[in-house]
Amino acid sequence: MAQLGHRLEGDLAAFASSAAESRGRRHPEEPPRNRTPFQRDRDRIIHSTAFRRLEYKTQVFVNHEGDHYRTRLTHSLEVAQIARSVARVLGANEDLVEAIALAHDLGHTPFGHAGQSALDWCMGELGGFEHNLQSLRVVEQLEQRYAEFDGLNLTFEAREGILKRCSPGKARELGDLGQRFREGTQAGVEAQIANTADEIAYNNHDIDDGLRSGLVTLDRIREEVPLFGQVFDEVRSLYPESGSGRRAVHETIRRLIDRQISDLVTTTRSRLEGLGCRSSDDVRAAGEPVVAFSQEMAEANRGLKELLHRELYRHFRVLRMAMKGSRVIQGLWEAFMENPGILPTEFRQRVERTEAERGEAGRAQVVADYIAGMTDRYAIREHERIFDPYSRP
């Protein structure tokens, strides 16, 4: 078995999480025959309903705005690709990193961050809404595909990675998963890699999508993000015929991602050494994350983010779409809370059960689960079905 484990997991570094040392699943299961437990986690995520829905959920641009913009699904695939590259070169567990990356946005509402803020506002006193915690709810409870348990029954390490952040109050409710937030310790190296890969992916693809949409201009990025300007000039001097078109932009972004990954790998290696991490427990016990960019790269990324906030996320067109999305969510929320009888049967029955146990907060939880699970287009249609008298209910 040890031999098979070695063949399946490759040469893991001492600080990596290995399947043999996994803290296991909530509901004990026989180990898989031809895969490691982390491969099983990944496969369950890919086969989940929530994963397929990511195709029609907003990253920045709403799905129907254009066929070439990132959706939550393509974003998750890009995160997984970057995370796997980093994991492999560092000797971390690639399967675990992939599982975490593919699952990290499963709990996202429709309409991106606007949707999440709207639902959080609606939930207010009744417990608030956080997409990170919702991703955990999806894999722990909401998916119903297995005869023996609710959720996907993932390993502790995968669930730990999905729970990127968490408030102190929630951390108390979350038992062993909440422990690191109560004690100020870290997640395993794989969770940290997936988390940073998320940042690399969205920073770079939001520049790409921002430029494609015309809401952000190339001149502006070149002026305000020196690293981008520098790489772009390098591309132009190497390939003068590439001009300022899409090809030059893609070549620049490709090089930017490569630089960020190289910086991350080098910095992380020296931190692992400096902190003396010789086991996955050492990584968890370290007072700070081991996976990190150099100071210069962290600074460059901050500049990039600020530009994206100013020019893209707060562009009036993006804000208008965000406002429409928020209103759809608020409308749905109010209607369902006021009259749970209009919820589809399955959810209405769930409301009856949870309300008996937890009162209004129970009702709110089921309504939030229903809304958070919606794709952009489903939410828009559901809103029509409820509010448009000419629409079939």
Binding interface with Mg ion (CB under 5 A): 105, 198
Between 190 and 198, CB nearer to Mg ion: 198
Between 8 and 77, CB nearer to Mg ion: 77
Distances (CA, A) of 94 to 47, 91, 371: 19, 8, 33
Between 76 and 252, CB nearer to Mg ion: 76
Least distance to Mg ion, CB of residue 298, Å: 18
Least distance to Mg ion, CB of residue 50, Å: 14
Least distance to Mg ion, CB of residue 76, Å: 7
Least distance to Mg ion, CB of residue 385, Å: 30
Least distance to Mg ion, CB of residue 257, Å: 15
Between 98 and 198, CB nearer to Mg ion: 198
Least distance to Mg ion, CB of residue 8, Å: 27
Least distance to Mg ion, CB of residue 104, Å: 6
Between 96 and 102, CB nearer to Mg ion: 102
Query: Helix/strand/coil (H, E, C) string of the chain?
Result: CHHHHHHHHCCCCCCCCCHHHCCCECCCCCCCCCCCHHHHHHHHHHCCHHHHHHHHCECCCCHHHCCCCCEHHHHHHHHHHHHHHHHHHHCCCHHHHHHHHHHCCCCCCCCHHHHHHHHHHHHHHHCCCCHHHHHHHHHHHHCCCCCCCCCCCCEHHHHHHHCCCCCHHHHHHCHHHCHHHHHCCCCCHHHHHHHHHHHHHHHHHHHHHHHHHCCCCHHHHHHHCHHHHHHHHHHHHHCHHHCCCHHHHHHHHHHHHHHHHHHHHHHHHHHHHHCCCCCHHHHHHCCCCCCCCCHHHHHHHHHHHHHHHHHHHCCHHHHHHHHHHHHHHHHHHHHHHHCHHHCCHHHHHHHHHHHHHHCHHHHHHHHHHHHHHCCHHHHHHHHHHHHCCCCCC
Select the residue whose beta carbon is closest to Mg ion and give its number: 198
Please, which residues bridge with residue 155 across strands? Answer: 25
Between 100 and 380, CB nearer to Mg ion: 100
Between 157 and 198, CB nearer to Mg ion: 198
Between 9 and 198, CB nearer to Mg ion: 198
Least distance to Mg ion, CB of residue 293, Å: 17
